[in-house]
Amino acid sequence: MNGKPEGETVLLTYGTFDLFHVGHLRLLKRLSALGDKLIVGCSTDEFNGGKGKTTAIPYAHRVEILEACRYVDQVIPEENWAQKRDDVQRYGVSLFAMGDDWTGKFDDLQDLCDVLYLPRTENISTTELKALIQSMRAGPSV
């Protein structure tokens, strides 16, 4: 028994989802159209810290934003790299999907489910948004 109703297509993706933007929204919308249930693993502040990443938005707020998104059915914490295999089995995942900057990194899950790498939305990224905000805070250069 895999924990999902017969015939239900369960999708799983992970991300930090800091400074939630249209790229995040479009990814979640595309994913939700591919199945019956979309589960999103949101990276905790502690996990991000271990990766050397600092978020502008605290974990609890990022989860609240994701839960309010009509394309998301469930949000779970992403606490470490190794949990993906367990999560795929625990939630009866049919399709694991990530942005194409991760191409090949999760192919080891193909013995459990299909793996898909989707193209990112052009000209938008959290990293670029943070840089833009930082430059705006610094003011005009003289």
- pLDDT (0 to 100) of residue 1: 38
Asked if residues 96 and 116 have their Cβ atoms less than 8 Å apart, the reply is yes
84 an active-site residue? no
- pLDDT (0 to 100) of residue 7: 81
- 2 or 59, greater pLDDT: 59
Domain interval for residue 40: 13-132
pTM for the whole structure: 0.85
Asked whether residue 81 is assigned to any structural domain, the reply reads yes
Asked whether residue 4 is assigned to any structural domain, the reply reads no
Residue 139 has pLDDT above 90, yes or no: no
Q: Which of 37, 51, 84, 105 is catalytic?
A: 51
CA–CA separation, 23 vs 48, rounded Å? 20
The domain total for the chain is 1
Asked whether residue 140 is assigned to any structural domain, the reply reads no
pLDDT tier at 136 (50, 70, 90 boundaries)? confident
Q: Which of 4, 29, 37, 53 is catalytic?
A: 53
- pLDDT (0 to 100) of residue 114: 98
- pLDDT (0 to 100) of residue 135: 74
pLDDT digits (tens, 9 = 90+) for 78-122: 999 999 999 999 999 999 999 888 999 999 999 999 999 998 766
Lowest mean pLDDT of 21-30, 84-93, 130-139, name the range: 130-139
Could you write out the DSSP letters of every residue in the chain?
Answer: --SS-TT--EEEEEE--TT--HHHHHHHHHHHTTSSEEEEEEEPHHHHHHTT---SS-HHHHHHHHHHSTT-SEEEEE--TTHHHHHHHHTT-SEEEEEGGGTTTTGGGGGTSEEEEEPPPTT--HHHHHHHHHHHHH----
- Give the rounded distance of the alpha carbon of 116 from its chain centre: 13
Read off the CATH number of the domain in which 97 is found: 3.40.50.620
pLDDT digits (tens, 9 = 90+) for 43-59: 999 999 999 988 989 99
105 an active-site residue? no
Asked whether residue 35 is assigned to any structural domain, the reply reads yes
